[in-house]
Structure 1
Amino acid sequence: MLLTWIGFFVFVALLLFLDLFVLNKKDHVPRTREALLWTAMWTTIGLGFSGFIYLAYQNGWVDSNLEPKQAVITYLTGYLVELSLSMDNVFVIALIFAYFKVPAIYQHRVLFWGIMGAVFFRLAMILAGVYLLEKFDWMFYVFGLLLLYSAVKMLGESADIHPSDNPIIKFVKRMIPVTDDYHGHDFFVHIDGKRAATPLFIALIIVETTDVIFAVDSIPAILGITTDSFLVFSSNILAILGLRSLYFVLSSMIDKFEYLKYSLALILAFVGVKMLLHEVWHPEDWLSLVVIFGLLAAGILISLTRPAPAPAPKDPIKNPMIDEVPEDRQI
């Protein structure tokens, strides 16, 4: 089992290395065609990994009682849940980049390092979640209620974000000087002998903390499907690996997916109810996959066929690099 985990980490590290240091070595703005090809490639890898899942559970490479076919269905369900919830994450990331006016040529770099951090944070959260569910049966009710709360909140939340109000960002700005301008793709620079963070680093921190917040919803959602830690982690990570290319595909079409949030809310509610009724309701694994896929497809189709309501005018945004930054910390 340990070798399987090590092998998966090596596989992910290889994919990330090829992505940043070989295929995207030079900063550039991916065209829509390129982004679509990359999205197709990442999706193929994610879906194709189900073949390895079958072999691993057939040959006992993972310590689990699941049958190979059941493990594949569970993996695909978890992958689809994370992929669908990642779409909502994409829209928030687009708002963050717009808020900080991150040049499009450097957005891929921010997303790459943001996902690097997400791998470690999510592993810790998944292992903690699996441990709690295995040790304390009442945690199913806690997670179920959390998902129902998240579903209700998703329907009522506003798309407006104010990163300058983030306490972590306020702390960073008070600990280290922050430049007003971008300095290429660097996160830190030296100016007049002083080390300073660039707006790109501030944007990275916001993307990272946002992912952790989203993981509070997505990880319990997958744990509501299975507590097999390898299935939860592999489906989660392989779904977010394609987040960068998915961002460049969807970021320009945000307004066309107005009704997707209702599908995501229903998906969270479905898994939440499933966790609350785990002692009396045991639907077939394929049923969860069909329900989740159907809700996601319905949200996308309705969004594309029905015109979205006109957005309300927004107030102008102040320069986030100088909001509430002490004068002695500005450069």
Structure 2
Amino acid sequence: MDILSSTLAAGGNAAAGSESPIPAWFMITSGIVVVAILVLDLLLVVKRPHTPSMKEAGIWVAFYVTLALIFAGALFAIGDAQHGSEFLTGWLLEYSLSIDNLFVFIIIMGSFSVPRKYQQEVLMVGIIIAIVFRGIFILAGSAIITAFVEVFFIFGIFLLIVAYRQAFSDDDDGDGENAFIRFLRKRINVVDEYHGNSLRVTIEGKKFWTPMFIVFIAIGSTDVMFALDSIPAIFGVTQNTFLVFTANVFALMGLRQLYFLLGGLVDKLIYLHYGIAAILAFIGVKLFIHALHESDFEFLSWGSAIPEVPTWLSLGFIVVAMAVATLASLAKMKKDGIPIRGGSSQESEDSQD
């Protein structure tokens, strides 16, 4: 969690523009509260492993969404309208892009046959790993932008490529293991069966890692791949390191409960990837326009005549793109007679304590 504290402390200093800075006491207090909630959440999950009911998952999702909205309201009151709107847009952007994470979480859980009662713990630890790595990426990204503002051209082109792949490529091989996990398996001793939620066991005097350890690494390292898309995207909304990091944290904090709330619905929303692709393409264009305004290259001076994309337009586009993709998917499901719920009910395992 040292990365969390250092990122929060550095946030105000990396703010772009001349708007009023976010008070240091607010950043420190926010960091303490977020860490406390994450630790409490982790302790609850570890102490009582179970599969949350729809009601429980819904309450937790509502809690984290409300927490993010309260944080945005505090930014409007303590900072200014720009900080508040940038956080809100960044949070919605990260929350939308994190839907991709849910697809992969489902694949990983199925691939490793993770007992349902331990899936909360796996997701929680994986998300904490992801927060740490995203903190590192954000600090690195902020430093690169400060030194070389033309990197926005690279970010923009990269997001347009990712958007194209998201919309038109079909590269889901159903494999829950990435290259790093395959590398790891060849070099450490791993048993095939789970031993509760233990990470290591001793069998006949020899120590072995359990599949639980591999799954933790799989969830965390896979999110690093998604961060390569989402971090450049959110820098298109704001270059304030504090806002970039907190938007990521609040989006990830509600992801675990969203996994259980949506259940098998996520992979049935067949048009959702088009909505995500549209958002990435929109932010990619926005980054390109921003780079034209910020670049010191004289031959790009014509770009300053193109108006920058305002934050409110980004916010509206994200909401509309996800709403249209979701509604279109639900309409398609209804037309094809596909039930919204069902298809992955393994709740009987929950009774094992």
How high is the TM-score relative to the length of structure 1? Answer: 0.86
Q: How does 1:152-171 map to 2 (within 5 A)?
A: 152-155=164-167, 156-164=169-177, 166-171=178-183
Aligned to 2:252: 240
Alpha-carbon RMSD: 1.9
In 2, are the aligned partners of 1:91 and 1:251 still within 8 Å (CA)? no
Give the Cα separation in 1 of the matches to 2:321 and 2:176.
Answer: 31
In 1, are the aligned partners of 2:189 and 2:209 still within 8 Å (CA)? yes
Counterpart secondary structure, 2:202: strand
Aligned to 1:95: 107
Specify which of 282, 285, 295 is matched with residue 270 of structure 1.
282
Aligned to 2:238: 226
- Residue 263 of structure 2 aligns to which amino acid in structure 1? S
In 1, are the aligned partners of 2:45 and 2:121 still within 8 Å (CA)? no
Q: For each residue in 1:56-87, what CA deviation from the matched residue of structure 2 results, as whole angstroms up to 9, or x when unmatched?
A: 42xxxxxxxxxx11111111000000000111
Aligned to 2:28: 6
Counterpart secondary structure, 2:282: helix
The CA deviation at 1:256 is 2.7
Give the Cα separation in 1 of the matches to 2:263 and 2:27.
Answer: 33
Specify which of 3, 7, 16 is matched with residue 38 of structure 2.
16
Seen in structure 2, the aligned counterparts of structure 1 residues 283 and 170 have a Cα distance that, compared at 3 Å, is closer
Specify which of 127, 130, 143 is matched with residue 142 of structure 2.
130
Aligned to 2:223: 211
Residue correspondences, number: 300
Seen in structure 2, the aligned counterparts of structure 1 residues 186 and 222 have a Cα distance that, compared at 3 Å, is same
Aligned to 1:291: 317
- Are positions 1:53 and 2:75 aligned together? yes
Give the Cα separation in 2 of the matches to 1:5 and 1:116.
Answer: 19
The CA deviation at 1:4 is 4.0
In 1, are the aligned partners of 2:51 and 2:116 still within 8 Å (CA)? yes
In 1, are the aligned partners of 2:45 and 2:120 still within 8 Å (CA)? no
- Residue 40 of structure 1 aligns to which amino acid in structure 2? A
Question: Unpaired runs of 5+ in structure 2?
Answer: 1-11, 13-23, 294-305, 339-353
Give the Cα separation in 2 of the matches to 1:121 and 1:23.
Answer: 22
- Residue 216 of structure 2 aligns to which amino acid in structure 1? L
Aligned to 1:143: 155
- Are positions 1:173 and 2:185 aligned together? yes
Counterpart secondary structure, 2:208: strand
Deviating beyond 6 angstroms after TM superposition, the runs of 4 or more aligned structure 1 residues are 308-311
The CA deviation at 1:9 is 2.6
Q: For each residue in 1:119-168, what CA deviation from the matched residue of structure 2 results, as whole angstroms up to 9, or x when unmatched?
A: 1111111111122122212100000011111111112133323244x332
In 2, are the aligned partners of 1:189 and 1:197 still within 8 Å (CA)? yes
Counterpart secondary structure, 1:190: strand
Question: Unpaired runs of 5+ in structure 1?
Answer: 58-67, 312-331
Counterpart secondary structure, 1:175: coil
How high is the TM-score relative to the length of structure 2? Answer: 0.81
Aligned to 2:200: 188
Give the Cα separation in 2 of the matches to 1:189 and 1:309.
Answer: 48
Deviates more, 1:167-176 or 1:257-266: 167-176
Counterpart secondary structure, 1:277: helix
The CA deviation at 1:3 is 4.4
The CA deviation at 1:112 is 0.8
- Are positions 1:25 and 2:38 aligned together? no
Identity among equivalent pairs (%): 41
Give the Cα separation in 2 of the matches to 1:20 and 1:52.
Answer: 26
Give the Cα separation in 1 of the matches to 2:337 and 2:221.
Answer: 30
Aligned to 2:59: 37
